Amino acid sequence: MNEQQWSQLLRVVAGERIQPLPVGLIIDSPWLPGWAGHSITDYYTSEKLWLELNLKAIRQFPNVWFLPGFWSEFGMCTEPSAFGAKCIWHDHELPFAEKTIETPEQMAALRKPNAREDGLLPFMIKRMEHTRAAIGTEGHAIRFAVARGPLNIASFLMGATEFMMALKESPQEAHAMLNTITEFLCDWLRLQKERFPTIEGVFLLDDLAGFLGKEDFEEFALPYLKRSFAAVDAKARFFHNDAHGLICAPYLAEIGINIFNFSFNHSLTEMQHLCGDRVTLLGNLPPRDVMALGTPDDVRRGVRAMLEPLTDKRRLIPSVGGGVSPKTPTANIEAFIETVAGMA
């Protein structure tokens, strides 16, 4: 994000109305390489191409807030690689991290990685260091420390179903595992802030938290998310959870979250009611069925249906209900921008 965009984002978070409404989109490897005609592995392995494609997006859509902006990542392999997971790579599909934990004993014995040295993390830092000057020349800066959330990482290391079962069958070991992961996350977020002083935001992604019931969320998600978001002093605390569930919404302010990206299955009016007046909503057009696979007219109709029922458009950033999906065409993004701009 450039300085004006970052300043406006903080104004929106503070409750100020920005005219016209800003458009914010989460972009990363599922969309960006394919949109620009390159393979996913080329995107991951070439710093030059990674930089070029991120610059291509901000030049093509200069008024869009791309979040978190210049995201240095290796898909779902990023954090699991630090825990020793074997990573499987495909040219035109997202990478996959194999499970490493099968028993409660292994959960309890999980060791905290060194965020400075382990897995793919040093490569992520070096990519940003090597391209920082070029990003600055374009008028942008690295604004967010980014990571998957504690439950999300646990599900990669163990398997989602297996980890969810372990919450009930082995709660003590599950807490031990989540505590280790959270300690690692705090180290990792602090390291990013240390290396890049322009960082004033935290962006965590954790879909698994949305599949918990109220009691399990309060026990296994709330304390670890709260610790993770508090790891660094941040003006923007941005949470992505596009699972089918509203469980986390009432707890966002308590956790410290002030920006929330959520599922298109939940309306903006519903989320405004649940989140209260302290959380900025980023959403929530269907990212695949409308934004990626629909026509520009479908997008226009969807944006109007999304925004027209709202009587209060403060703390709002029109977007899709998740990240930008693969194969989302330029014409549909342009239709989204134009329709939002035309609505008061």
For 237-290, the pLDDT digits (tens) are 999 999 877 899 999 999 999 999 999 999 999 999 999 888 999 999 999 999
Closest CA relative to residue 36, chosen from 19, 12, 73, 61: 61
Averaged pLDDT, 30-53 = 97
Domain 3-341 has CATH 3.40.605.10: no
Confidence of residue 175 (pLDDT cuts 50, 70, 90): very high
Give the pTM.
Answer: 0.96
Q: How far is CA 219 from the centre of its chain?
A: 23
Closest CA relative to residue 24, chosen from 48, 59, 58, 74: 58
What pLDDT sits at residue 343? 86
What pLDDT sits at residue 236? 98
Residue 33 has pLDDT above 80, yes or no: yes
What pLDDT sits at residue 244? 74
Compute φ and ψ for 304, nearest 5 degrees: -65, -45
What does the domain layout of the chain look like in residue ranges?
Answer: 3-341
Tokens for 12, please give them: 């929106």
Compute φ and ψ for 96, nearest 5 degrees: -135, 135
Averaged pLDDT, 140-158 = 98
Mean pLDDT, the chain, integer: 96
Residue 344 has pLDDT above 70, yes or no: no
Closest CA relative to residue 252, chosen from 286, 302, 217, 219: 217
CA distance 284 to 185: 28
CA distance 150 to 155: 9
Averaged pLDDT, 291-296 = 98
Tokens for 223, please give them: 């304390």
Averaged pLDDT, 58-75 = 97
For 215-239, the pLDDT digits (tens) are 999 999 999 999 999 999 999 999 9
Tokens for 114, please give them: 């060194």
For 191-215, the pLDDT digits (tens) are 999 999 999 999 999 999 999 999 9
Residue 158 has pLDDT above 70, yes or no: yes
Residue 70 has pLDDT above 90, yes or no: yes
SS3 283: strand
For 74-109, the pLDDT digits (tens) are 999 999 999 999 999 999 999 999 999 999 999 999
